[in-house]
Amino acid sequence: MVKYMKLIKDILQGVAIGVANIIPGVSGGTMMVSMGIYGDVISAVTGIFSHFKQSVKLLLPYAIGMLLGIAGLSFAIGYLFEYYPFQTVMLFIGLIFGGLPLILPKVMGARVTLPEILIFVAFFALIVGMEFLQQGADKVLTVGIGSAVTLFFIGAVAAATMVIPGVSGSMILMSLGYYTPIIDCINEFIVAVFTLQWAKIWNYMRILVPFGIGVVLGIFLISKLVEYLLNKHERKTYFGILGLLVASPIAVLSGISLGNLEFGTALVGIFLFIVGFIVANFLGK
């Protein structure tokens, strides 16, 4: 029974990571930190070749959850952000802050040094500075060798930022003009699969497969870098992660108009923040 509960919990954590990765301003890496699984996931990804069985055993439930989150909830998240943006954002801010009790012990217990403060400030400023990135004009996704190469590199860049806490892969895709086209392509691919439109399935796969390969490679390479930093400079690395984490709500709220916020909307948002905080603590180890 305990084994199955652990499996369900891991899949739910994967769902949260997957949903976070499709929301501009929210990072899947942030969700991993908030739920206390960041170090384990990084080690499993980098050790996929040397410890294949153990890595797959740990990563598979998260991967299943991520696929469910991206494929199953992409429609719902789009709807919620269109009609209930503040409430939806507050839920994810609650999820982010719910992870602070897990990460604070990593930076406490010793006197804070000037380099650690500078690292925190630098990474905090990085997220705030990214808000000045303008959304690029949406690209038209085409099929061909040139497009496949471009999609491969776009996937690699987006995946690298997805792994880094606080840095939103969706935001990067948006600034490059690939966010909406990729999300639309995923949604249309899902519809084509359920309606058995084989010609459309093949065409969408020719777009999504090179992008997906880039995502996998990007995750592996950036995980190698993060693993090195955690092994050699753990405390400083966590100060950087903390800076990214604390700045994340600014990134998430930047696209929301707060000037004409109604009392009822604010109340529901606060309630969902508390729900997100509790859920993050429940899903955390």
Looking at residue 115, its pLDDT comes to 86
Give the angle subtended at the CA of 199 by the CAs of 193 and 204, to the nearest 5°.
65
Its pTM stands at: 0.63
Count CB-CB contacts under 10 A for residue 261: 12
Looking at residue 50, its pLDDT comes to 79
Looking at residue 118, its pLDDT comes to 92
Contact 70, 186 (CB under 8 A): yes
The residue-averaged pLDDT of 218-240 equals: 81
- The mean predicted confidence, pLDDT, of the chain is 76
Looking at residue 2, its pLDDT comes to 63
Q: Is the pLDDT of residue 285 over 60?
A: no
Looking at residue 75, its pLDDT comes to 67
The percentage of the chain sitting over the pLDDT mark of 70, rounded to a whole number, equals 76
| Residue 260 three-state SS | coil
102-156 pLDDT tens trace: 667 777 777 888 888 898 888 888 777 766 655 545 565 666 777 778 788 878 8
